[in-house]
Structure 1
Amino acid sequence: MNDFINKKLLPPVMKFVNLKPMVAIKNGMLYPIPFIVIGAIFLILGNFPYTPIADAISKSGLAAIFMQAYNGSMALMAVFAVFGIAYSWVHDAGYEGVPAGLLAIVVDVILQPDTVTNVTNSAGKTSTAWVASNVIDKNWLGGKGMIVAIIVGLLVGWIYTWFMKKGFTIKLPEQVPANVAASFTALVPGAVIVSGATAVYAFFKLGLSTTFVEWIYKVIQTPLQHATDGPMGVFIVAFLPVFLWFFGVHGATIIGGIMTPLLLANNADNNALYKAGKLTIDNGAHIVTQSFMDQYITVTGSGLTIGLVVFMLWRAKSTQMKTLGKLEIVPALFNINEPILFGVPLVLNPLLAVPFILTPLLSGILTYLVIKFGIIPPFNGIYVPWTTPPIISGLIIGGWQGAVWQAIMLLMTIASYWPFAKRYDQILLKQENSDSTAKVLQ
């Protein structure tokens, strides 16, 4: 089995995850995370899931204040992403990445519309009769613009690096301060990239009567969002992260870097429907969202390992499992499980591979079905920081139904891990007893 894993499975997996675009996306998508988490807190406060408190916050005027903080942080996630991806590509190539990141933001803005045709007045009335010109529509800086952010970040990073490698830059004498020299270094590739972006904008504006970001959203992002919002999406977010984790590769980071833009866009769509009071499948609500992944696939850690932790605390007899259970229970409540991933270990452990890989897949399939058939409502699109304890997170994103279903899924993990954990515990106990006997005989 080790030969099969090391010679057949691991090489292509590692080759894929180490491709330059994959590394740039994985690393670049880490930059928006702090602002997403901060913004999520203000989003929860501005849209509190308990109606009496939400009404009180709204009447006090604080809801608008909280949403302003959200609009300046999480709502700009595409801006942070496009900067991070371009910066990561160029930085990993050995060059100064900040100019490339800023250049990517410039290109991202150029490719967006400069008018807003759906304007909402102070009374909350929206009309297409009102048009605002010479503006940036913030919607394209958030979830709706994530695919364009990825495309722009990768292209700017690649083109900028090509210019650096070929030496097509303005070089100043060594006596010139480094920060001044860096700005001139970016001048030639920046001029070419901005000119190219402007030509693309002109092509779509004059030839197709649209913009690049709107075209991408219609032709690529919307179909991809719907593609992820089905059985294939469940398989990707539930199976692939733990499959990669089994080989010791941080699967949540890799798959999350690819899927997070789409899942956050699904979140944003659901949140808009939730605010409008139209959060139903018939109205286009998504099932597979970032909340779906964070609160029902990776809750208590990749592999939904809370069931294993419960066994280690309650029924384990080996010293190793009992000790790790005591160490892991608190981190597990905040969805951190690296201590048992590498301590039990779950990585490259064939005895625990079955529950580790299949438990999140089972939770994903069941959660998909209960939403699909209307047993629980779609999730409201409120982004909950990934360290939020279970049950609380379920309550925030899905009300009491979400909390109850999350509790059921956590109980399910106990049943799925129990027989495998029991067998592994027996093996560890036998090894520990053998070691103790050998020490006595010595």
Structure 2
Amino acid sequence: MTKFLVWIETKFMPPMAKLAEQKHLKAIRDGVISTLSLILVGSFFLIIANPPIASWAEAIAPYTADIVIPFRITMGLMSIYASYGMGYSLAKSYKLDGITGGVLSLATFLMLTVPVNVDALLPEGQGIGWVLPMGNLGGAGMFSAILAMIFAVESLRFFKNRNLMIKMPEQVPDSVARSFEALIPGAFVITIVWIIRVLLDFDLNSFILSIFTPINDILGNNLIGVLVPVIFITLLWAAGVHGMSVIGSVARPMWLVMLDANGQALADGAAPNQLPYIAPEQFYQWTVWIGGAGSTLALCILLLFAKSVYLKQVGRFSIIPSLFNINEPLIFG
């Protein structure tokens, strides 16, 4: 056992600690987490539209389509919000302008979705012009949003480091100067994506999903796929590294794809026991990590009755966060 712990500390922990600080993974983590509030709000409306009591469900059935609109605008567009957040975070890590990085990432991601003219599908005089299909703007487009963010911000950094930008005089307001600085990188990024998506007719979203769908099936509907993240997260915690920060940076985009697929299926009328994925991130939160990573709620309760004054204090200030699966105060305490 001692040799195993030494191996964790000397061989396993150092590369994992470096991975947790990798700029692109940190940007993905920060950008995805920035969408959490919108996901929670959208989920509330989804719960209201699908109450667990049959009589309530029948009463609100005529209004379900209207009730789930906030869900479709929040979770249904989560990749849009995440693309901006990830681009902002990565640009700031390079000491570039965060707003420019976020906007370029968002524009690059939207360029991957071809607008559709729906006038021909509607009666004459009722046309609404061009629309963006929402199918790839939610969780299904998360991997494309990540690639778009990396390409956009790295291109911005490339042009910035080589001074291939339009410089404005100091008297020009910063907001205007930033717009002109982003002109050349923006033209480059959008042109490249336009060539790939429109001229070459290469659907990056479909290609990436075809690659990651088998992985999602393993992570979302397979016991081994569930155990692997749990084992790595607990090993990292045992070595003193925040396990969810490392593993979550890699797995959370896939978990969000599963969550979005489940939410869309539920909003479209699927039964709760017929959703496509069993184990998105919420599965871990409410069936594996009771009280936080390591299922420490029971330990927190035991500490409330400890003879040690210090341990009793740790239990007291940790009990409330532990009820919400936040156990950093307990672990570090």
Which TM-score band (shorter chain)? 0.7 to 0.9
Aligned-pair distance for 1:173? 0.9
Within 2, Cα distance between the matches of 1:198 and 1:172? Answer: 28
Report matched runs for 1:267-282 at 5 Å.
Answer: 267-274=259-266, 275-277=268-270
Percent identity over the alignment is 30
Within 2, Cα distance between the matches of 1:278 and 1:133? Answer: 35
Within 2, Cα distance between the matches of 1:179 and 1:277? Answer: 47
Aligned-pair distance for 1:83? 1.2
Task: From the superposition, tell whether residues 178 and 331 of structure 1 become closer, same or farther in structure 2 (CA, over 3 Å).
Answer: same
Range that drifts further, 284-293 or 87-96: 284-293
Aligned-pair distance for 1:220? 1.8
1:77 is aligned to 78
Please tell me whether the aligned partners of residues 245 and 251 of structure 1 are also in contact (alpha carbons under 8 angstroms).
yes
1:53 is aligned to 56
2:297 is aligned to 306
- Secondary structure, in 3 states, of the residue corresponding to 1:141? coil
Please tell me whether the aligned partners of residues 79 and 145 of structure 2 are also in contact (alpha carbons under 8 angstroms).
yes
RMSD: 2.7
Task: For structure 1, list consecutive stretches of 5 or more residues without a partner in the other structure.
Answer: 122-131, 344-442
TM-score of the superposed pair, with normalisation by structure 2? 0.86
Within 2, Cα distance between the matches of 1:278 and 1:38? Answer: 21
Task: From the superposition, tell whether residues 337 and 193 of structure 1 become closer, same or farther in structure 2 (CA, over 3 Å).
Answer: same
Task: From the superposition, tell whether residues 116 and 259 of structure 1 become closer, same or farther in structure 2 (CA, over 3 Å).
Answer: farther
Aligned-pair distance for 1:133? 8.0
Larger radius of gyration: 1
Task: From the superposition, tell whether residues 51 and 256 of structure 1 become closer, same or farther in structure 2 (CA, over 3 Å).
Answer: farther
Within 1, Cα distance between the matches of 2:259 and 2:320? Answer: 28
Aligned-pair distance for 1:189? 0.2
2:186 is aligned to 190
- Secondary structure, in 3 states, of the residue corresponding to 1:138? coil
Aligned-pair distance for 1:5? 5.2
1:30 is aligned to 33
Which amino acid is the alignment partner of residue 49 of structure 1?
Answer: P
2:330 is aligned to 340
Between Structure 1 and Structure 2, how many residues are aligned?
321
Within 2, Cα distance between the matches of 1:299 and 1:199? Answer: 49
Task: From the superposition, tell whether residues 226 and 203 of structure 1 become closer, same or farther in structure 2 (CA, over 3 Å).
Answer: farther
- Secondary structure, in 3 states, of the residue corresponding to 1:140? coil
Task: From the superposition, tell whether residues 295 and 203 of structure 1 become closer, same or farther in structure 2 (CA, over 3 Å).
Answer: farther
- Secondary structure, in 3 states, of the residue corresponding to 1:175? coil
Q: Is residue 2:42 matched to residue 1:43?
A: no
Please tell me whether the aligned partners of residues 48 and 54 of structure 1 are also in contact (alpha carbons under 8 angstroms).
yes
Please tell me whether the aligned partners of residues 80 and 137 of structure 2 are also in contact (alpha carbons under 8 angstroms).
yes
**CA shift digits 1:280-300 (9 cap, x unpaired):** 67xx83222222122123332
- Secondary structure, in 3 states, of the residue corresponding to 1:55? helix
- Secondary structure, in 3 states, of the residue corresponding to 2:68? helix
Which amino acid is the alignment partner of residue 16 of structure 1?
Answer: L
1:322 is aligned to 312
Please tell me whether the aligned partners of residues 237 and 297 of structure 1 are also in contact (alpha carbons under 8 angstroms).
no
Which amino acid is the alignment partner of residue 97 of structure 2?
Answer: E
Within 2, Cα distance between the matches of 1:164 and 1:194? Answer: 17
Task: From the superposition, tell whether residues 68 and 337 of structure 1 become closer, same or farther in structure 2 (CA, over 3 Å).
Answer: same
**CA shift digits 1:155-179 (9 cap, x unpaired):** 2121211111111110011111111
Report matched runs for 1:405-424 at 5 Å.
Answer: none
Please tell me whether the aligned partners of residues 87 and 105 of structure 2 are also in contact (alpha carbons under 8 angstroms).
yes
Task: From the superposition, tell whether residues 320 and 92 of structure 1 become closer, same or farther in structure 2 (CA, over 3 Å).
Answer: same
Within 1, Cα distance between the matches of 2:308 and 2:187? Answer: 65
**CA shift digits 1:52-98 (9 cap, x unpaired):** 22333334x3x444312222222211011111222211111001021
2:279 is aligned to 288
Q: Is residue 2:105 matched to residue 1:104?
A: yes
Task: From the superposition, tell whether residues 216 and 6 of structure 1 become closer, same or farther in structure 2 (CA, over 3 Å).
Answer: closer
Task: From the superposition, tell whether residues 221 and 7 of structure 1 become closer, same or farther in structure 2 (CA, over 3 Å).
Answer: closer
**CA shift digits 1:28-71 (9 cap, x unpaired):** 22221121122222222222233322333334x3x444312222
TM-score of the superposed pair, with normalisation by structure 1? 0.66
- Secondary structure, in 3 states, of the residue corresponding to 1:156? helix
Q: Is residue 2:126 matched to residue 1:135?
A: no
Aligned-pair distance for 1:202? 2.7
